Amino acid sequence: MGTTEDLARYIVDSAPERIPDALIHEGKRCLINFLAVAIYSSRDPSLDILLDVFDAEGGSPLASVVGTGVRTTLQNAALANGYLGHLEDYDDTHFPTVIHPSSPVLPAALAVGEHLHAGGRDVLAASVLGMEACCRIGMAVHPYHYDEGWHITGTTGVFGSIIAAAKLSGLDLGQMTHGLGIAGTQAAGVREVFGSMTKPFHPGRSAQSGVLASLLAQRGFTSTTEILEGRRGFAAVMSEDSHLERVNDGLGESWELMMNGLKPYACGVVNHPLIDAMVALKNSAGIDPSEVQSVSARVHPLVLELVDRPNPRVGLEGKFSYQHSMAVGLVDGAAFPAQYSDARVADPVIAGLRDRIQATIDESMAEDASEVTITLRNGQEHSQRIEHATGAPDNPMTDAQLNEKFRALVGDVFPSAEVDLMLSALWDLDQAPDVGGVIALTRLADRIIRE
Amino acid sequence: MGTTEDLARYIVDSAPERIPDALIHEGKRCLINFLAVAIYSSRDPSLDILLDVFDAEGGSPLASVVGTGVRTTLQNAALANGYLGHLEDYDDTHFPTVIHPSSPVLPAALAVGEHLHAGGRDVLAASVLGMEACCRIGMAVHPYHYDEGWHITGTTGVFGSIIAAAKLSGLDLGQMTHGLGIAGTQAAGVREVFGSMTKPFHPGRSAQSGVLASLLAQRGFTSTTEILEGRRGFAAVMSEDSHLERVNDGLGESWELMMNGLKPYACGVVNHPLIDAMVALKNSAGIDPSEVQSVSARVHPLVLELVDRPNPRVGLEGKFSYQHSMAVGLVDGAAFPAQYSDARVADPVIAGLRDRIQATIDESMAEDASEVTITLRNGQEHSQRIEHATGAPDNPMTDAQLNEKFRALVGDVFPSAEVDLMLSALWDLDQAPDVGGVIALTRLADRIIRE
């Protein structure tokens, strides 16, 4: 049999209870991370554009847009939630391919799961299978595909979202195979749109395409059975070179999802090892910023190339300032979106500390490493070396750090008691008889469509 | 300025009354041809799959699905009508690129036009501009793009549909430019799905993508302003080589739409010069089939390679039989879908005539040429040479032939009085104050969504 049908058979045959618990746990972590970012982003005014289009077109209230009171069609909910997941560039990253698998896949699982009152473990299993397939298909066309200009999250996302939606909908082997064809021929999204709202639109649209493909395939709509491997199929057309065996080799045994990293800080990754060092120094030495004489750091050359900005004026500039990122790391012990507000950038304590921070290039330093030394006014020195920044597969965020991220982001939108309720429900999701319970907690009635 | 913005400016600045009347007439012909095929196809059971999904998702009744009583969202109507237009592979063809411009573009114009109560000439102008841009963008990436495996109707269709929708919606230059970005990054569709329902799904989805892009851009959604020419844009990513100057050179002066052909017969094009000859012999010599002793034809080699099938058993096989196609040409003077029914294939008069038809290869014969000689039982001979088959740009279908096609196809669905009413309204469309009038005529109340 062919690559596509082999993959479809594996998906159809995978019983949710047979997905290893470690993967179900990873799926939960992805979902918690996704919801943290998506709910935080739900206050962005650009969401109103999508909601206003939904309102103009109408539709049955079948699934929720997180952080709002809106219930809309399955396709609309998938589109909006996928958009929100990627809007802040703060979602997960499959390191080998730079796919962000959560944003196209989880919205499809949530929309269909909510509508069908699916159990929590079923939703997590469908999500894990969808994200895994998405990353594996990405591996099959990597690196040519992204280098050619494709936004790989948008293109491979359609396969992940159809799988998540179709698995929850109980599609049989033929339907699943054709569904992959319907979804896969909608693979789209070029990198030219980076820097605009259309970038997060890609995973949103991919989530929607997968839901639509599942709805069609379930009703007998036909397509090719060889969308991945066919002579005019996805791999042949959208990559100069491909390794189709990577789609199915070791399926169910080795997991690409374990190479998926969650991002601890709301800024470019080159800042991350420096923030790690400052947070560690705050936690271990309890340094008072007013006692700091100077901070020196040895860094990879990219740091000075990309984020050397001693005097950021607004929050967005703070994200591109290693000085600001390090300062908030020491003062706040965090680098969440709140640390990149205009107010925080203008804060005199932070600004004063920024002036005392200086990085120098160390050619031997890896990109995800750093060494930081703080000299206090009393002459004392504290040093911290970071070998691998938090968030990479070999140094993942802990569950506790993830909780902290969730509380920081969702706490901006919901009262803290509700945030705690959500977190506890999410960690117990595999026991929930109906995913609708936790989805109901993510709704916020006062965010409605503007007329 | 760049290619994209130049194109957007031309579209925004083009007043409907300044589009030459010859082009408005061509737009009408495309619309009449499109509606003939789409209405005929509306009885296909596969449409129920789409309508059932629309029903499950819900939506406001803003625009019509032709040949049905269904009014649904703008996006759904665009999707369904685009699907219907291409389902029978009987729509128009831009000869230089093999784009079928009507199916992705006209459904967007019809949906938005109906909703906004746009005037007939505005709808025709927006359609002409959209189809023209679609073909020009195709020329810019031809032939590499199709050769790489892209279904060029699906990919370039998104540009045509956003333009038609956005022009009718009155988008300004900035919105139009960003709208092209939102739509263009959704360019999708690979040839691997040919032979399945997903092939006509491509223009449907393209029509829908353009409508969505227009709705978003109108509300301020941002994208790239260089989707066509950007380093990671449409042309660079989706073609090995491109000729971007073809997008805008001579805009408003030379028209690719004049290279768009309408298909007279419901079968593969290699049969067409043979059918032309038989129809001409019927009309000029009034031959009675029972008097025919033998029919000989000199043909291009492809005829024997592709459509040599003396004894077709069912209608679909008849489409791949030059013998059957020639027989119905003489007996019926036509080769519409009715001539390819199972019953017509089994008809004894037709079958008897098929047995007396023989083609031989003439290496000097062009692909769109033929020479046919009929010998009667009384020894008389009648010959007919065809230099260019009907439907190519240098021998277009006449308006009378188009009327005949419309009557044959739509007459299968609507009573003939209503067909005449529709035709007369369509030829007068440029004078209609509201396109909704003619669209109302295409609705058929007894085709509703199956529950």
**CATH number, domain at B276?**
3.30.1330.120
Strands A292-299 and A260-261 turn out to be unpaired
Rounded mean pLDDT of B204-209?
A: 98
Q: Copy the structure tokens of residue B340.
A: 């390819």
Residue B37 C-beta-side C-alpha neighbours within 13 Å: 30
Instruction: Please tell me whether residues B289 and B182 are part of one structural domain.
Output: no
Q: What does DSSP assign to residue B310?
A: S
Q: Copy the structure tokens of residue B262.
A: 């309408």
CA distance A61 to A115: 9
Q: Name the helix (H) or strand (E) containing B420.
A: helix B416-427
Q: Name the helix (H) or strand (E) containing A298.
A: strand A292-299
Is residue B414 a part of any domain in this protein? yes
Give the angle subtended at the CA of A355 by the CAs of A409 and A350, to the nearest 5°: 30
Interface contact flag, B148 A231, Cβ < 8 Å: no
Q: Which one of B59, B154, B219 has the shortest CB-CB distance to A59?
A: B59
Q: Copy the structure tokens of residue A277.
A: 């060092």
CA distance A86 to B192: 30
In the three-class reduction of DSSP (H, G, I as helix; E, B as strand; rest coil), residue B94 is classed as: strand
Length, in residues, of chain B: 451
Q: Where are the alpha helices (DSSP H) in B88-233?
A: 102-116, 120-141, 144-147, 152-169, 173-184, 198-218
Q: To which residue do tokens 């002409």 refer? A: B128
Spatial CA neighbour of B84 closest among B438, B441, B409, B427: B409
Rounded to the nearest integer, the mean pLDDT of chain A is 96
pLDDT confidence of residue B449: 43
Nearest C-alpha in B relative to A228 = B192
- Name the band, by pLDDT with cuts 50, 70 and 90, for residue A450: very low
| Boundaries of domain holding A291 | 269-386
**Interface probe with A: pick from B114, B192, B206, B242, most Cβ of A within 10 Å:** B192
pLDDT confidence of residue A451: 33
Q: Copy the structure tokens of residue A27.
A: 């799926």
**Interface probe with A: pick from B72, B198, B216, most Cβ of A within 10 Å:** B198
Nearest C-alpha in A relative to B60 = A58
DSSP states of A339-390 as a string? GGSHHHHH-HHHHHHHTTEEEEE-TT--TT-EEEEEEETTS-EEEEEESS-T
- Name the band, by pLDDT with cuts 50, 70 and 90, for residue B393: confident
Is residue B447 a part of any domain in this protein? no
Residue type, A247: V
Interface contact flag, B192 A181, Cβ < 8 Å: yes
Domain boundary among A342, A359, A386: A386
Interface contact flag, A188 B186, Cβ < 8 Å: yes
Instruction: Please tell me whether residues A296 and A164 are part of one structural domain.
Output: no
Interface contact flag, A53 B216, Cβ < 8 Å: yes
pLDDT confidence of residue A446: 64
Rounded to the nearest integer, the mean pLDDT of chain B is 96
pTM metric for this prediction: 0.95
Percent of chain A topping pLDDT 70: 99
Assess whether pLDDT exceeds 50 at residue B244.
yes
CA distance B9 to A184: 34
Nearest C-alpha in A relative to B111 = A57
Spatial CA neighbour of B137 closest among B234, B27, B2: B234
Spatial CA neighbour of A77 closest among B80, B61, B162, B58: B58
Assess whether pLDDT exceeds 70 at residue A66.
yes
Is residue A392 a part of any domain in this protein? no
Question: How far B227 CA sits from the closest chain A CA (Å)?
Answer: 7
Q: Note the pLDDT tens digit of each residue in B155-182.
A: 999 999 999 999 999 999 999 999 999 9
CATH number at residue A173: 1.10.4100.10
Q: Note the pLDDT tens digit of each residue in A178-209.
A: 999 999 999 999 999 999 999 999 999 999 99
pLDDT confidence of residue A347: 97
Is residue A310 a part of any domain in this protein? yes
SS3 string of B36-57? HHHHHHCCCCHHHHHHHHHHHH
Q: Name the helix (H) or strand (E) containing B71.
A: strand B71-72
Spatial CA neighbour of B163 closest among B188, B145, B141, B137: B137
CA distance A87 to A274: 24
CA distance A335 to A343: 14
Spatial CA neighbour of B206 closest among B257, B152, B139: B152
Interface contact flag, B149 A197, Cβ < 8 Å: no
Q: What does DSSP assign to residue A48?
A: H
- Name the band, by pLDDT with cuts 50, 70 and 90, for residue B446: low
Spatial CA neighbour of B7 closest among B120, B125, B154, B167: B167
Q: What's the order of all strands across the beta sheet hosting A357-361? A: A357-361, A292-299, A370-376, A381-386
Q: Give Cα B45 to chain centroid, integer Å.
A: 20
Cβ contact B271:B322 at 8 Å:
yes
Residue type, B56: A
Instruction: Please tell me whether residues A302 and A232 are part of one structural domain.
Output: no
Assess whether pLDDT exceeds 60 at residue B450.
no
Instruction: Please tell me whether residues A242 and A282 are part of one structural domain.
Output: no
Q: To which residue do tokens 């020009």 refer? A: B136
Spatial CA neighbour of B81 closest among B217, B214, B263, B206: B206
Instruction: Please tell me whether residues B86 and B207 are part of one structural domain.
Output: yes
CA distance A433 to B340: 55
Cβ contact B353:B292 at 8 Å:
yes
Q: Which one of A73, A151, A187 has the shortest CB-CB distance to B57?
A: A73
Q: Which one of B62, B73, B237 has the shortest CB-CB distance to A190?
A: B237
Residue type, A214: S
Cβ contact A265:A352 at 8 Å:
no
pLDDT confidence of residue A7: 98
Instruction: Please tell me whether residues B373 and B352 are part of one structural domain.
Output: yes
Q: Which residues of B touch A238 (CB under 8 A)?
A: 190
Q: Which one of B74, B189, B201 has the shortest CB-CB distance to A57?
A: B74
Bridge partners (DSSP) of residue A294 are A375
Is residue A449 a part of any domain in this protein? no
Q: Give Cα A432 to chain centroid, integer Å.
A: 23
ipTM of the modeled complex: 0.94
Residue type, A354: R
Q: Note the pLDDT tens digit of each residue in A307-358.
A: 999 999 999 899 989 999 999 999 999 999 999 999 999 999 999 999 999 9
Instruction: Please tell me whether residues B253 and B273 are part of one structural domain.
Output: no
Q: Note the pLDDT tens digit of each residue in A273-283.
A: 999 999 999 99
Nearest C-alpha in A relative to B225 = A193
CA distance A225 to A243: 19
Instruction: Please tell me whether residues B308 and B248 are part of one structural domain.
Output: no
- Name the band, by pLDDT with cuts 50, 70 and 90, for residue B445: confident
Interface contact flag, A222 B75, Cβ < 8 Å: no
Q: Name the helix (H) or strand (E) containing B72.
A: strand B71-72
pLDDT confidence of residue B394: 86
SS3 string of B342-381? HHHHHCHHHHHHHCCEEEEECCCCCCCCEEEEEEECCCCE
CB-neighbour burial class of residue A21 (10 A; exposed 0-12, middle 13-18, buried 19+): exposed
Residue type, B444: L
Instruction: Please tell me whether residues A131 and A199 are part of one structural domain.
Output: yes
Assess whether pLDDT exceeds 50 at residue B220.
yes
CA dist list (Å): B38 to A432, B24, B253, B343, B412: 47, 21, 31, 23, 12
pLDDT confidence of residue A449: 43
DSSP states of A158-215 as a string? HHHHHHHHHHHHT--HHHHHHHHHHHHTT---BGGGTTSTHHHHHHHHHHHHHHHHHH
Question: How far B338 CA sits from the closest chain A CA (Å)?
Answer: 25
Q: Which one of A185, A190, A236 has the shortest CB-CB distance to B233?
A: A190
Rounded mean pLDDT of B413-438?
A: 97
Percent of chain B topping pLDDT 90: 94
Nearest C-alpha in B relative to A50 = B216
Assess whether pLDDT exceeds 60 at residue B101.
yes
Task: Count residue pairs from A and B with Cβ separation < 8 A.
Answer: 182
Rounded mean pLDDT of B381-399?
A: 94
Q: Copy the structure tokens of residue B364.
A: 């000097």
Residue type, B107: P
Instruction: Please tell me whether residues B260 and B274 are part of one structural domain.
Output: no
Percent of chain A topping pLDDT 90: 94
Is residue A183 a part of any domain in this protein? yes
User: What domain count does chain B have?
Assistant: 2
Instruction: Please tell me whether residues A167 and A311 are part of one structural domain.
Output: no
pLDDT confidence of residue A392: 85
Nearest C-alpha in B relative to A182 = B198
Q: To which residue do tokens 């573009």 refer? A: B105
Rg value, chain B, Cα: 22
Q: Copy the structure tokens of residue B210.
A: 């353009």
CA distance A354 to B205: 52
Interface contact flag, A231 B149, Cβ < 8 Å: yes
Q: Which one of B197, B224, B238 has the shortest CB-CB distance to A222?
A: B197
Instruction: Please tell me whether residues A179 and A215 are part of one structural domain.
Output: yes
CA distance A126 to A77: 17
CB-neighbour burial class of residue A168 (10 A; exposed 0-12, middle 13-18, buried 19+): buried
Residues 6+ apart with CB under 8 A from A264: A272, A275, A335, A390, A391, A397, A401, A405
Is residue B391 a part of any domain in this protein? no
Is residue B210 a part of any domain in this protein? yes
